Amino acid sequence: MDEGTLSTVDSQGPLNSTAAAMLGLLAQIGPLNGNSLSRCADVLIGDYWTLTRSQVYRELQTLEELEYIEAGPAGPRSSRDFSITDRGTQALRDWLNAGPADEVIRMPILLTIRFGADIEPERLREILGEFEVRHRTKRGFYVELEADMQTSRNDPFEIATVRFGRLFEAAINEWLTELPSLLPSVFKEPTSEE
């Protein structure tokens, strides 16, 4: 079996996070086709867990084979809505109760900084400026979303997740604020001789 066809579900063991995320979305939202599931994932969990369209379709097939989900009748363009089964609900509960695996930080900006000595300081400042703008926008989004949720919705699990997002963005802001003192060679003002 080539790597492109490997599933992120191990039929001999527990679900992994990608499959569990899909089951969680199906459990909370109800029947969805692959395209809708992918769009919902982008909106509801995309800031902290990405699901590519190819992962979604590959996993739907595997989850159906494991009887964790079942497909409804074919609709337009042979699209089928999938629902979580009792077996899938139990697999999701088992995964949740097992607790999460260790975190792995995967942030491309950290690779850029780690190997930043090989970039011209001006270019690194541009990259960091673009990064700062993106994350300032995200920070504002989380602040507004959290305030809205406190007044209009009361799902404490959703609020707790959004709070993490806001605090994560605050930590990024603090890190960006400290970078000039951590990387003085990047942030020093160029002299007229340079």
- Checking if the pLDDT of 194 tops 80, the result is no
Provide the whole-model pTM: 0.72
As a whole number of angstroms, the distance between CA 63 and CA 19 comes to 8
Tell me which residue of 100, 11, 90, 6 sits closest to 55, measured CA to CA: 6
What is the tens place of the pLDDT at every residue in 12-69?
456 888 889 889 989 988 888 888 888 888 888 877 788 888 888 888 889 999 999 9
Tell me what pLDDT residue 2 has: 40
Q: Let me know whether 72 and 153 are in one domain.
A: no
Residue 169 lies in a domain: yes
Confidence of residue 1 (pLDDT cuts 50, 70, 90): very low
Query: 9 versus 122: which is more confidently predicted?
Result: 122
Residue reference for tokens 């949720």: 149
- pLDDT surpasses 70 at 3: no
What average pLDDT score do residues 100-126 get? 89
Least Cα distance to 20 among 115, 82, 88 occurs for: 88
**146-178: buried (b, 16+ CB within 10 Å) or exposed (e) per residue?**
eeebeeeeeeeeeeeebeebbebbeebeeebee
Percentage with pLDDT > 70 across the chain? 89
pLDDT computed for residue 153 by the predictor: 65
Res. 126 pLDDT band, cuts 50 70 90: very high
User: At 173, is the pLDDT very low, low, confident or very high (cuts 50, 70, 90)?
Assistant: very high
Picking from 66, 98, 130, the residue at the C-terminal end of a domain is 98
Alpha-carbon separation of residue 181 from 89, 129, 148, 188 (angstroms): 50, 16, 36, 10
- Which of 71, 98, 125 marks a domain boundary? 98
In this prediction, residues 151-157 reach a mean pLDDT of 75
Could you give the CA distance from residue 140 to residue 159 in angstroms, rounded to a whole number? 15
Residues 176 and 118 in one domain: yes
Q: Give the domain CATH number at 11.
A: 1.10.10.10
61 shares a domain with 121: no
39 within a domain of the structure (yes/no) = yes
Task: State how far the Cα of 86 lies from the Cα of 145, in Å rounded to an integer.
Answer: 33
Name which residue leads in pLDDT, 45 or 193.
45
